[in-house]
C-alpha cells in the first residue's frame, strides 16, 4: 500500500499485473488484485449492459464479472479454458474482470512510465496511468480503481440513474 | 488513568442508557397510590447505578444531578416521603435530562442547561417542599447565570462543606409584604438574616449562610421571580459569581450542571473521589445475564453459517446419488450433520432476534404525554412484547409504528366528554400487540376511537383527483389513506399531524417485505395490522426455471400456480395480456420477455403461471417450470454491485451457482 502511494509520488518502483486484451498488453496495480481464477459462466443478469456478464459465487460473496474485451471492443469475447478472471478488490468492493490471459507481474521504475498520448488505446486517457516500457514490451497502465468506480462501468449504484 | 477508563466509557453509556430505559418503564408502571416496595427499590437502584458509574468515569454533572434524584428516591423508598404524581412527572423529566447529559458526553449532543437547571430545581423543591422542617436540607436551584462552561467538561464542584460563611445581599423587586415575610422566614432557616428597607419601599436582605448562592436563589424563587432578584455575595470565602455545588452530609445535595469550578483542598477532593469509588462499587449485585457483542461479529457468524448451510446442501446433492444400501452409514451420518447444521443455523439466527419490547417500551411515555397534551385519556396496553424480531427489522419498524400510534391518539380517540356521550368509557383503549404467524410477525395497533371517516376520505380522494365512487367497499376506501398526498392531518380530523403521510408508513413496511392492512368501524375504532417477515436474511423461496435460468420467487408472494388453458388467456388492447383465474382477470407478465430469455416453451399453455399477490393486488407471472420450494440465504447484490431493476437480491444454490431473487413488487409496479 505504502509502495503504491510512494509510487504515485514518483518515489519508488511499482508492481503491475500484466494481462492481454486482444493484441494489446495492459497492466494494473498489483495491490488491487485479490486473486486470479479460471472463467466459469456467471449467472446472467437481465437488462444490464452487455459487458456485465453477471454475478458469480466467490466463496459466498456475490461478485459481478465484467468482460473487458466486450467493454473495450478488443479481441474476441470467446471463453476457453485459458480465459481468466482477475478478481479485484477496490476499497472493499469485489469485482471480477475477464481478460484473455495473464502474463506476469512486472516491476516498473518511475522513469519507465511515460505519459500516455491522448489517442493511444481503446481506453479514455482519464483511466490511464501511462505507458510502461520494459525492453521491447509496452504495457498500457490502467488506473483500475478509477475505471471500475466510473459511471461508465455501471458497477455502483451511482450509475443506475443513467441506465 | 483517564485513558484506562475511557475504554469503558462506551460500556457505561450502554449500561446507563439501559438503566434509564428501565427506570422510565418502572416509573410509568408504578402505582402512585400504593407503590410496591420492590418497584421503588428498583427505581432507586437504577438511579444509584447510574450515579455510581458516572462518578467513576468522572461525569460529574451526571453523578451530581443523579444524586439529587437518588436522595429523593431513597426517602420515598424508606417511607419518609409519599410518592405523588408530581414526583413521577419530575422523575421522568429528570430521566430526560440524564439521557441528554449522557448524550452530551457520548456524542457531544447539545445540552440544554436551562432544562437541566429547571429539572434540578424541581427535584430540590420536591426533596424539601416546605424548605423548612429539615433545616439541614439545602435547596439547590436554577443557576441564574449558566456559565459558558460546556457540560461536556464538567467542573469538579466540591465546595467547602461547612464553616465557610458567605454574606449575600438580596435585593428584592417590589413584593407584597406577606411574601416578604414568608421569604424572610424561609431564608432565616438558612442562616442569619438582617433586613434593610430601601427608600423606594423595596426590601434588601443580608443573609449570612453556609449555603451557595444558587441555594439562596432557589429559596427566593418560590416567592419572587428569580430574574428580578439581585443577589450579590459579599464574603470572599466563596468566589462570588460562581454557583457552587456542595457535597456534604446526607441531606445536603449538590447543584446541577451549570457550575463553575471552585478551588478545593486536596483532602476534600480525595474524600470526594473515595466517595465516588464507593458508589461505583455498590451496584455490583445487579448482574446481567447477557453479554454485549458487536453486530459485525454476529453478522459474520451468520454469514459463515450461511456458507455452511450451502456447503451442506452441495454435499447433500452428491450424497443423494449414492447407493443407499452400500453407503448406509455415511448417509446416516450425513443426515445427522444436516440436522445439526439446521439447528446451528436456527440458533445463530436467533442471536439477531430482539424482543418487541425494545420497540414497545418506548411508547408508554409517548402515549402518556401526547394524550395529556391533547386532553385525552388513553389506556395503553401492549401484548406479546416478548415476540422476537430481527434486529435489522426491529429498528425499521419503530418509525412506522410511532406514526400509527400517534395517529390513533391524535385522530382516532375522541375527547373524554365525547366518549362519554357516545356511551364509551372515558379513557380510550390503545392496544399494541405482536405475535408470530408462520414466518411473519404481525403487529397490530388497535384503538377504540371514532374510526376512519369514510365520507371525508372519499372527499379528500376526489380533491386529489383519485378515481373513487360512493359504492366502493370499505376496504378499498381504507386503502386510499395510503395514497401519497393523503396527509393524515386533514383527512380524519383537523388536528394537525406531522405531515408524514400513511404512504410513507406503507412504503417503509413494503420495503421490509411486509404488508399493511386497515380495518375500521365507524364509532368503534380502527386497527392497523402490519405483517413483516421475521428476518431478512433467510427467505422461503419458490425456484422457477425459465429457459436455462433459475430464479427465486419469495414464497410470501405466491398465491397459487396453475397451467393456463387457451381459453383463459386474453389479449386486450391497451391492457396487455390478461389471464382469467377464478373469475378474475389478472395482468399476465411473461418473465422471459421481461428478462430477455429464450424460453423452453413459447406457448403459454405449456408453461406455468404463478399468481402473485402484492398488498392486495394480484398479477400472474409466466415461467417455464417450477423447480421446487426451498429456504435460501439472501445475499445483497449491492455489496459488490448495484441495484438491478426487478431483482431484490441473490442467493447461492446447492450446486454453488448464483440464483437471483425476483423483486415481485417491482415487477408489479412495472405493470403500471
User: Based on the domain organization, do B312 and B406 belong to the same domain?
Assistant: no
Interface residue of B309, B550, B589, B640 to substitute, partner A, most A CBs within 10 Å: B640
Q: Are the Cβ atoms of A62 and B643 closer than 8 angstroms?
A: no
Total Cβ atoms within 10 A of residue B339: 10
Q: Which run of H or E residues covers position B61?
A: helix B60-77
Q: Are the Cβ atoms of B642 and A42 closer than 8 angstroms?
A: no
Over residues A105-123, the mean pLDDT reads 80
Smallest CA–CA distance, residue B612 to chain A, in Å, is: 20
User: Based on the domain organization, do B433 and B500 belong to the same domain?
Assistant: yes
- What is the biggest distance separating any 2 CA atoms in chain B, rounded to whole angstroms? 116
Q: C-alpha B594: how far from its chain's center?
A: 42
- pLDDT at site B494: 36
User: Based on the domain organization, do B341 and B373 belong to the same domain?
Assistant: no
Read off the C-alpha cell for B205: 436582605
- pLDDT at site A39: 92
- Look at residues B485, B500, B533 and tell me which one is the last residue of a structural domain: B533
Q: Are the Cβ atoms of B310 and A60 closer than 8 angstroms?
A: yes
User: Based on the domain organization, do B366 and B513 belong to the same domain?
Assistant: yes
Q: C-alpha B505: how far from its chain's center?
A: 16
User: Based on the domain organization, do B571 and B517 belong to the same domain?
Assistant: no
Q: Are the Cβ atoms of B652 and A56 closer than 8 angstroms?
A: no
pLDDT in tens, A78-95: 888 888 999 999 988 999
B636 to chain A: nearest residue by CA? A62
Q: Are the Cβ atoms of A55 and B658 closer than 8 angstroms?
A: yes
Q: Report helix, strand or coil for B292.
A: coil
Going from the C-alpha of B556 to that of each of A38, A111, B612, B615, the distances in angstroms are 38, 62, 9, 11
Q: Report helix, strand or coil for A6.
A: helix
Angstrom distance (rounded) from CA B262 to CA B212: 12
CB contact B543 to A (< 8 Å) = no
**What does chain B come to in residues?**
672
User: Based on the domain organization, do B431 and B553 belong to the same domain?
Assistant: no
Q: Please list the ranges in chain B whose pLDDT falls under 50.
A: 1-3, 131-163, 235-267, 269, 272-286, 488, 490-499
Residue B308 belongs to a domain:
yes
Chain A residues with CB-CB distance to B666 below 8 A: none
- pLDDT at site A15: 92
Q: Which CATH number belongs to the domain containing residue B275 in this structure? A: 1.20.120.160
- pLDDT at site B262: 42
CB contact A153 to B (< 8 Å) = no
Q: Are the Cβ atoms of A57 and B640 closer than 8 angstroms?
A: no
Residues B497 and B406: beta-carbon distance below 8 Å: yes
Sheet-wide strand order for B584-590: B558-562, B608-614, B617-623, B584-590, B576-581, B569-572
Give the number of beta-carbon pairs within 8 Å between A and B: 73
A153 to chain B: nearest residue by CA? B641
- pLDDT at site A17: 95
Chain B residues with CB-CB distance to A59 below 8 A: 307
User: Based on the domain organization, do B496 and B581 belong to the same domain?
Assistant: no
With a CB cutoff of 8 Å and minimum separation 6, the contacts of B320 are none
Chain B residues with CB-CB distance to A62 below 8 A: 635-637, 639-641, 650, 652, 658
User: Based on the domain organization, do B456 and B603 belong to the same domain?
Assistant: no
Read off the C-alpha cell for B471: 359504492
What is the number of helices (H) and of strands (E) in chain A? 3, 11
Chain A residues with CB-CB distance to B657 below 8 A: 43, 57
User: Based on the domain organization, do B449 and B553 belong to the same domain?
Assistant: no
Q: Are the Cβ atoms of A43 and B647 closer than 8 angstroms?
A: no
pLDDT in tens, B616-635: 788 999 999 998 888 787 88
CB contact B638 to A (< 8 Å) = yes
What is the number of helices (H) and of strands (E) in chain B? 21, 22
Residue B65 belongs to a domain:
yes
CB contact B644 to A (< 8 Å) = yes
Q: Report helix, strand or coil for B528.
A: strand
Angstrom distance (rounded) from CA B66 to CA B59: 11
Angstrom distance (rounded) from CA B341 to CA B485: 49
CB contact B145 to A (< 8 Å) = no
Bridge pairing between strands B658-662 and B230-233: unpaired
Q: Report helix, strand or coil for B146.
A: coil
Residues B523 and B414: beta-carbon distance below 8 Å: no
Bridge pairing between strands A24-29 and A137-142: parallel
Q: Are the Cβ atoms of A62 and B595 closer than 8 angstroms?
A: no
User: Virtual CA dihedral for B308, B311, B315, B320, nearest 10 degrees?
Assistant: 90
Residues B118 and B142: beta-carbon distance below 8 Å: yes
Q: Report helix, strand or coil for B421.
A: helix
**What does chain A come to in residues?**
163
Going from the C-alpha of B631 to that of each of A56, B348, B541, B652, the distances in angstroms are 20, 16, 6, 11
Q: Are the Cβ atoms of B644 and A42 closer than 8 angstroms?
A: no
CB contact A89 to B (< 8 Å) = no
B310 to chain A: nearest residue by CA? A60
Q: Is B403 left (phi over 0), alpha (psi -120 to 50) or beta?
A: alpha
CB contact A37 to B (< 8 Å) = no
- Look at residues B493, B509, B533 and tell me which one is the last residue of a structural domain: B533
Read off the C-alpha cell for B586: 389478472
- Look at residues B533, B553, B578 and tell me which one is the last residue of a structural domain: B533
Interface residue of B300, B594, B642 to substitute, partner A, most A CBs within 10 Å: B642
Residue A158 belongs to a domain:
no
Domain that holds residue B565: 538-669
With a CB cutoff of 8 Å and minimum separation 6, the contacts of B78 are none
Residues B353 and B434: beta-carbon distance below 8 Å: no
User: Based on the domain organization, do B401 and B529 belong to the same domain?
Assistant: yes
Nearest to B596 among A46, A64, A95 (CB): A46
Chain A residues with CB-CB distance to B307 below 8 A: 59-60
Chain B residues with CB-CB distance to A64 below 8 A: 640-641
User: Based on the domain organization, do B401 and B494 belong to the same domain?
Assistant: yes
| DSSP structural state of residue B228 | G
Angstrom distance (rounded) from CA B188 to CA B195: 11
Concatenate the DSSP letters of all residues of B564-629 into one string: PPGGGEEEETTTEEEEEETTEEEEEEEHHHHTT---S--SGGGSEEEEEEETTEEEEEEESEEEEE
Smallest CA–CA distance, residue B485 to chain A, in Å, is: 25
Percent composition of chain A: helix, strand, coil (DSSP 3-state, to 5): 20, 45, 35
- pLDDT at site B646: 87
Q: Which residue has the cell 434509564?
A: B20
- What is the biggest distance separating any 2 CA atoms in chain A, rounded to whole angstroms? 46
Angstrom distance (rounded) from CA B631 to CA B334: 19
Residue A156 belongs to a domain:
no
- C-alpha angle with apex A141: A137 to A144, nearest 5 degrees? 150
Nearest CA to A29 out of A8, A51, A11, A9 is that of: A8
Nearest CA to B360 out of B69, B630, B89, B29 is that of: B29
Q: Are the Cβ atoms of A55 and B637 closer than 8 angstroms?
A: yes
Angstrom distance (rounded) from CA B516 to CA B443: 10
Q: Which CATH number belongs to the domain containing residue B575 in this structure? A: 2.40.50.180
Nearest CA to A58 out of A28, A95, A30 is that of: A95
- pLDDT at site B610: 93
Angstrom distance (rounded) from CA A86 to CA A99: 7
CB contact B597 to A (< 8 Å) = yes
User: Virtual CA dihedral for B652, B656, B657, B658, nearest 10 degrees?
Assistant: 20
User: Based on the domain organization, do B522 and B650 belong to the same domain?
Assistant: no
Residue B645 belongs to a domain:
yes
Whether the CA torsion B67, B69, B74, B80 is positive or negative: it is: positive
CB contact A85 to B (< 8 Å) = no
CB contact B596 to A (< 8 Å) = yes
- In angstroms, the first-to-last Cα distance of chain B is 65
- pLDDT at site B672: 54
Residues B189 and B208: beta-carbon distance below 8 Å: no
Tally of structural domains, chain B: 4
CB contact A154 to B (< 8 Å) = yes
* pLDDT band at residue A52 under the 50/70/90 scheme: very high
Chain B residues with CB-CB distance to A91 below 8 A: none
Q: Which CATH number belongs to the domain containing residue A104 in this structure? A: 2.40.50.180
Smallest CA–CA distance, residue A63 to chain B, in Å, is: 6
Radius of gyration for the alpha carbons in chain A, expressed in angstroms and rounded: 15
Average pLDDT of chain A is: 83
Radius of gyration for the alpha carbons in chain B, expressed in angstroms and rounded: 33
Chain B residues with CB-CB distance to A160 below 8 A: 642-643
Q: Report helix, strand or coil for B60.
A: helix
Interface residue of B306, B543, B641, B652 to substitute, partner A, most A CBs within 10 Å: B641
With a CB cutoff of 8 Å and minimum separation 6, the contacts of B574 are none
Read off the C-alpha cell for A82: 485459458
* pLDDT beyond 70 at A2: no
Tally of structural domains, chain A: 1
B550 to chain A: nearest residue by CA? A43
Angstrom distance (rounded) from CA B593 to CA B575: 16
Q: Are the Cβ atoms of B635 and A62 closer than 8 angstroms?
A: yes
Residues B81 and B75: beta-carbon distance below 8 Å: yes
Q: Are the Cβ atoms of A47 and B643 closer than 8 angstroms?
A: no
Domain that holds residue A26: 2-148
What ipTM score was computed for the predicted complex, to two decimals? 0.85
Going from the C-alpha of B234 to that of each of B169, B206, B219, B442, the distances in angstroms are 7, 9, 19, 68
Chain B residues with CB-CB distance to A154 below 8 A: 642
- C-alpha angle with apex A143: A138 to A148, nearest 5 degrees? 130
B646 to chain A: nearest residue by CA? A46
Chain A residues with CB-CB distance to B597 below 8 A: 46
- pLDDT at site B625: 92
CB contact A59 to B (< 8 Å) = yes
Nearest CA to B530 out of B555, B513, B544, B543 is that of: B513
Chain B residues with CB-CB distance to A51 below 8 A: none
Nearest to B652 among A42, A57, A154 (CB): A57
Chain B residues with CB-CB distance to A43 below 8 A: 549, 650, 657-660
Angstrom distance (rounded) from CA B423 to CA B442: 31
pLDDT in tens, B444-460: 999 998 888 888 888 88
CB contact B226 to A (< 8 Å) = no
Amino acid at each position: 500500500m505504502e509502495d503504491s502511494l510512494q509510487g504515485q509520488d514518483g518515489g519508488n518502483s511499482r508492481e503491475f499485473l500484466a494481462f492481454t486484451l486482444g493484441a494489446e498488453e495492459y497492466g494494473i496495480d498489483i495491490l488491487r488484485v485479490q486473486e486470479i481464477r479460471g472463467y466459469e459462466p456467471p449467472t446472467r443478469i437481465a437488462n444490464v449492459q452487455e459487458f456485465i456478464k453477471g454475478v458469480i459465487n466467490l466463496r459466498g460473496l456475490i461478485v459481478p464479472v465484467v468482460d473487458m474485451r466486450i467493454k473495450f471492443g478488443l479481441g474476441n469475447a470467446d471463453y476457453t479454458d485459458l480465459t481468466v478472471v482477475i478478481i479485484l478488490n477496490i476499497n472493499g468492493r469485489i469485482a471480477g474482470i475477464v481478460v484473455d490471459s495473464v502474463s506476469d507481474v512486472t516491476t516498473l521504475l518511475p522513469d519507465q512510465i511515460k505519459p500516455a498520448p491522448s489517442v493511444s488505446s481503446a481506453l479514455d486517457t482519464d483511466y490511464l496511468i501511462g505507458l510502461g516500457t520494459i525492453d521491447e514490451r509496452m504495457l498500457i497502465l490502467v488506473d483500475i480503481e478509477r475505471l471500475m468506480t466510473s459511471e461508465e462501468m455501471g458497477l455502483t449504484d451511482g450509475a443506475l440513474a443513467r441506465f | 488513568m483517564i485513558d484506562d477508563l475511557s475504554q469503558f466509557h462506551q460500556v457505561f453509556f450502554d449500561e446507563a442508557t439501559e438503566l434509564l430505559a428501565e427506570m422510565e418503564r418502572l416509573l410509568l408502571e408504578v402505582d402512585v397510590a400504593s407503590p410496591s416496595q420492590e418497584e421503588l427499590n428498583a427505581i432507586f437502584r437504577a438511579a444509584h447505578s447510574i450515579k455510581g458509574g458516572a462518578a467513576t468515569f468522572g461525569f460529574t454533572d451526571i453523578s451530581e444531578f443523579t444524586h439529587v434524584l437518588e436522595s429523593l428516591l431513597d426517602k420515598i423508598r424508606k417511607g419518609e416521603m409519599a410518592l405523588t404524581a408530581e414526583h413521577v412527572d419530575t422523575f421522568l423529566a429528570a430521566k430526560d435530562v440524564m439521557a441528554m447529559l449522557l448524550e452530551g458526553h457520548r456524542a457531544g449532543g447539545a445540552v440544554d442547561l436551562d432544562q437541566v437547571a429547571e429539572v434540578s430545581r424541581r427535584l430540590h423543591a420536591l426533596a424539601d417542599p416546605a424548605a423548612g422542617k429539615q433545616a439541614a436540607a439545602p435547596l439547590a436551584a436554577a443557576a441564574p447565570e449558566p456559565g459558558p462552561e460546556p457540560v461536556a467538561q464538567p467542573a469538579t464542584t466540591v465546595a467547602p462543606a461547612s464553616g465557610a460563611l458567605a454574606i449575600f445581599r438580596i435585593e428584592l423587586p417590589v413584593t407584597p409584604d406577606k411574601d416578604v415575610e414568608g421569604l424572610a422566614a424561609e431564608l432565616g432557616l438558612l442562616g442569619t438574616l438582617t433586613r434593610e428597607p430601601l427608600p423606594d419601599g423595596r426590601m434588601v436582605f443580608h443573609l449570612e449562610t453556609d449555603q451557595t448562592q444558587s441555594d439562596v436563589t432557589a429559596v427566593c424563587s418560590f416567592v419572587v421571580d428569580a430574574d428580578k432578584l439581585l443577589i450579590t455575595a459579599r464574603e470572599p470565602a466563596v468566589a462570588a459569581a460562581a454557583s457552587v455545588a456542595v457535597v456534604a452530609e446526607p441531606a445536603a445535595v449538590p447543584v446541577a450542571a451549570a457550575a463553575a469550578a471552585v478551588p478545593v483542598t486536596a483532602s476534600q477532593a480525595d474524600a470526594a473521589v473515595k466517595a465516588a469509588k464507593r458508589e461505583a462499587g455498590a451496584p455490583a449485585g445487579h448482574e446481567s445475564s447477557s453479554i454485549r457483542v458487536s453486530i459485525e461479529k454476529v453478522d459474520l457468524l451468520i454469514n459463515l453459517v450461511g456458507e455452511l448451510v450451502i456447503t451442506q446442501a452441495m454435499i447433500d446433492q452428491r450424497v443423494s446419488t449414492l447407493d443407499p444400501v452400500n453407503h448406509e452409514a455415511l448417509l446416516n451420518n450425513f443426515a445427522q450433520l444436516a440436522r445439526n447444521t439446521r439447528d446451528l443455523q436456527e440458533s445463530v439466527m436467533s442471536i439477531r432476534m430482539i424482543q418487541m419490547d425494545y420497540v414497545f417500551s418506548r411508547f408508554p411515555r409517548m402515549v402518556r404525554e401526547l394524550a395529556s397534551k391533547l386532553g385525552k385519556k388513553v389506556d395503553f396496553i401492549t401484548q406479546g412484547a416478548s415476540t422476537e424480531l430481527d434486529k435489522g427489522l426491529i429498528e425499521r419498524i419503530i418509525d412506522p409504528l410511532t406514526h400509527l400510534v400517534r395517529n390513533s391518539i391524535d385522530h382516532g380517540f375522541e375527547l373524554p366528554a365525547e366518549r362519554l356521550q357516545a356511551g364509551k368509557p372515558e379513557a380510550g383503549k390503545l392496544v399494541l400487540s405482536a405475535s408470530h404467524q408462520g414466518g411473519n410477525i404481525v403487529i397490530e395497533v388497535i384503538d377504540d376511537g371514532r374510526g376512519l371517516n369514510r365520507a371525508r376520505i372519499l372527499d379528500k380522494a376526489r380533491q386529489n383527483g383519485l378515481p373513487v365512487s360512493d359504492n366502493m367497499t370499505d376496504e378499498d376506501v381504507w386503502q386510499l389513506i395510503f395514497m401519497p398526498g393523503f396527509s393524515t392531518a386533514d383527512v380524519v380530523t383537523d388536528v394537525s399531524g406531522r405531515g408524514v403521510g400513511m404512504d410513507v408508513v406503507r412504503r417503509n413496511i413494503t420495503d421490509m417485505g411486509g404488508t399493511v392492512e386497515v380495518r375500521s368501524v365507524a364509532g368503534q375504532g380502527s386497527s392497523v395490522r402490519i405483517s413483516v417477515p421475521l428476518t431478512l436474511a433467510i427467505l422461503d423461496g419458490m425456484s422457477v426455471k425459465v429457459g436455462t435460468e433459475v430464479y427465486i420467487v419469495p414464497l410470501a408472494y405466491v398465491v397459487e400456480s396453475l397451467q393456463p388453458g387457451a381459453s383463459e388467456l386474453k389479449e386486450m388492447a391497451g391492457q396487455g395480456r390478461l389471464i382469467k383465474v377464478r373469475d378474475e382477470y389478472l395482468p399476465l407478465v411473461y418473465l422471459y420477455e421481461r428478462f430477455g430469455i429464450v424460453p423452453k416453451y413459447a406457448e403459454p399453455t405449456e408453461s406455468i403461471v404463478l399468481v402473485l399477490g402484492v398488498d392486495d393486488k394480484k398479477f400472474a407471472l409466466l415461467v417455464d417450470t417450477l423447480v421446487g420450494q426451498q429456504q435460501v440465504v439472501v445475499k445483497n447484490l449491492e455489496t459488490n454491485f448495484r441495484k438491478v431493476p426487478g431483482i431484490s437480491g441473490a442467493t447461492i444454490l446447492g450446486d454453488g451457482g448464483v440464483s437471483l431473487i425476483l423483486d415481485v413488487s417491482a415487477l408489479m409496479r412495472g405493470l403500471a
